[in-house]
Amino acid sequence: METTLRGVGVSHGVAIGEVRHMGTAVLEPPAKQIPTEDAGREQGRARQAVEAVAADLVARGNLAGGEAQHVLEAQAMMAQDPELMADVERRIAVGSTAERAVYDAFAAYRALLAGAGEYLAGRVADLDDVRNRIVARLLGVPMPGVPDSDEPYVLIARDLAPADTALLDPTLVLGFVTEEGGPTSHSAILARALGVPAVVALPGAGELAEGTVIAVDGSTGEIFVEPSDDRRARLEQAVSERKAALTASTGPGATSDGHKVPLLANIGGPADVAAALEAGAEGVGLFRTEFLFLDDSTRAPSEEKQVTAYREVLTAFPEGRVVVRVLDAGADKPLDFLTPADEPNPALGVRGLRALLDHPDVLRAQLRALAKAAEGLPVYLEVMAPMVADRTDAKAFADACREAGLRAKFGAMVEIPSAALRARSVLQEVEFLSLGTNDLAQYTFAADRQVGAVSRLQDPWQPALLDLVASAAEAAKAEGKSCGVCGEAAADPLLACVLTGLGVTSLSMGAASIPYVRAMLATFTMAQCERAAAAARAVDTADEARRAAQAVLSGE
């Protein structure tokens, strides 16, 4: 008999197939003592295992490319963290085996994150995966992971580490469902990049029996257990209609009555450009530059290296718009040369623009590199600062841009509620706003964007978040300036219509989502989008907002 479960849909599409579960976690190594004379040998085993795991993660990243590559390179750096390695060696020196020392050292670091209020809890899944890989190598057992299967299936897991998600084979893994995670977790972002339907934050997903047939709707977050023939037919019809709409929709983003809404791509480096162009992106709405700084956490890359990478992206969009975000370090992206090591709440500390203003040489070098990269190109370069709190921040950034000789538009990301509430003040110093809805939700609701337990508060349909979007968009319109969205909210086709109705002037998302959003926008007039936006803001919960908007656009 068919039953329905609901999680958080994070990647479009429908998958119907049998359940297969992720392999079980590595067993806890026994706590046995080693003779003192064996300590050196065990320390050597630990170092070799760490280096092998780091190399494997980098290799997986090179195979996957794009966003996955940056995530896995960051995970490799986690494996090689010198403080963690020092703790491992100390534990071995007092009698632990290499595998037990790794297990205990990672457990201590995990507890440290939890003790810091779980502001870094979004990296716990990554940390656990690194630990499991090192311990498995030391024990000489296979690494638990994606199950072997000759037939396509739907993957069920407590959570998916980036190393597993990045190399999923879409011809075998029809979709996946996790108990943990949120709409902005690494696994969700990588699922969208792969084009694999996915639902996260589904309590009890692990209780679904192996071999059970389920239908996963990655758009609505619904899971249909043992779907009826009628349900299958309706889902298959919806898939068919969606494919037809995608095929028919081409060209620039616009509503059915011609209101233009440029559709841009979020990219993490040159490797993501091809997918953006194939999807018909009209430019880049968020060029994350962190990938250049993650290779060596002890120093910034040279200006020459930066110029080369920036110019490769800029030349790909002749006469297009490319919005570059300067380095956003801190919180879950610490860099030894830039961010404090002892902050109690890093997400609320010196991150983003704050870190750059504390290290003006790093900011100046990046801005000079961008200026050089854009020389002689017809591209419309725009540069924005992350984590702008107020007009003072905006002025400091604009002044730095001018001092570096940057001929571009200067903008501010709206990720802090104060910037949305005082957007008109911020716009006295900069020329555009870009709403980072992932962090804006995190700071609005005091809900870590990676923690599944608070995922309902990370839902971009929350009316309070829509109010802040409207506030920023209205301020930009009053000042005759633009206000785009570059957070994951823009990747939801229905929500894209609502954002348009709120007055947002452009939408930027992962390349895989662009065709879906283009097709949905082309279905409705601007007036319909405005009515849907008003209906979504008139209710009290995210689910009610979603249903209210859907009712307006479906003519109910």
Annotated catalytic residues are 186, 486
**Nearest-CA neighbor of 386 among 471, 487, 481?**
487
Q: Which amino acid is at 167?
A: L
Residues 6+ apart with CB under 8 A from 440: 414, 415, 416, 417, 420, 465, 468, 487
How many Cβ atoms sit within 10 Å of the Cβ of residue 2?
13
As a whole number of angstroms, the distance between CA 537 and CA 552 comes to 13
Q: Which two tokens stand for residue 261?
A: 């809404």
In degrees and rounded to multiples of 5, residue 33 shows phi and psi of: -90, 145
**Burial class for 453, CB neighbours closer than 10 Å (0-12, 13-18, 19+):** middle
Q: Which two tokens stand for residue 232?
A: 């299958």
As a whole number of angstroms, the distance between CA 237 and CA 116 comes to 48
**In this structure, are residues 176 and 206 in contact, taking their beta carbons and an 8 Å threshold?**
no
In degrees and rounded to multiples of 5, residue 367 shows phi and psi of: -65, -40
Residues 6+ apart with CB under 8 A from 509: 263, 264, 265, 266, 285, 486, 488, 490, 491, 517
Q: Which two tokens stand for residue 22?
A: 């992720």
**Nearest-CA neighbor of 512 among 321, 278, 314, 317?**
278
How many Cβ atoms sit within 10 Å of the Cβ of residue 365?
18
Q: What are the start-end ranges of the H helices in 140-226?
A: 162-166, 186-194
**Nearest-CA neighbor of 189 among 437, 10, 449?**
10
